[in-house]
Amino acid sequence: MILRFATLGGILALVTFIAFAKIEAAPADSLADLSASISKDFPSVPALSTAELADWLKDSKKSPPILLDVREEKEYVVSHLPGARRAKSDAVRQLRQLGAAEATPVVVYCSVGYRSAVLARKLAEAGFTKVRNLTGSIFAWSNEGRPLVNATGATSGVHPFDASWGRYLEQSKWRWVPEN
């Protein structure tokens, strides 16, 4: 069992590399097209729109979901959604340490939604029943002008991952390092 969880990080890295190579070979014209392709590639992974998440987070009558940012540390430190935690290599253990039960709502995101779809599927396979992948992920969230934070507070920039993936993020929002 420990080996199974220990290899999750390695499996995620390999699957992400293969997935990015696949998408890179046939780039989508827009983030909406890319999101549709991701949904098609992961039909068992429920999606949640940025508008739905924003409404959920504003609704004081609903418990907020656990937000997991699947991006690399260098991306996360530039900005992330308010209240989000960076997903660890063993996200199942991380959720259990946070006291999450299988029915706890969890929303995962990355830059565009592919890495987070991989993690969402793994969490579902581990028994989590209310995992959702944020459609368009942080790029869509940022492009829509929704709030972002980093260690120093509110910010507006997002790490574009690289120039190729950054084409789905408004270039004025590209940040390679955190703003002070």
- On whether the CB atoms of residues 123 and 157 are closer than 8 A, the answer is no
What is the dihedral sign for C-alpha 123, 4, 97, 72? Answer: negative
Q: What share of the chain is helix, strand, coil (3-state, %, to 5)?
A: 45, 15, 40
Residues 6+ apart with CB under 8 A from 166: 160, 174
Q: What is the pLDDT of residue 15?
A: 47
For residue 177, what pLDDT is reported?
A: 95
Distance CA 163, CA 145 (A): 21
User: Closest Cα to residue 126, out of 99, 98, 91?
Assistant: 91
Segment holding 150, helix H or strand E = strand 148-150
- Residue 44, SS3? coil
pTM above 0.95, yes or no: no
Give pLDDT, residue 28: 87
How confident is the chain (180 residues) per 10-residue block, as mean pLDDT?
A: 48 48 61 96 98 97 97 98 97 96 97 98 97 98 98 97 95 92
What is the three-class DSSP state of 96? helix
How many angstroms separate the CA atoms of 157 and 143, rounded? Answer: 10
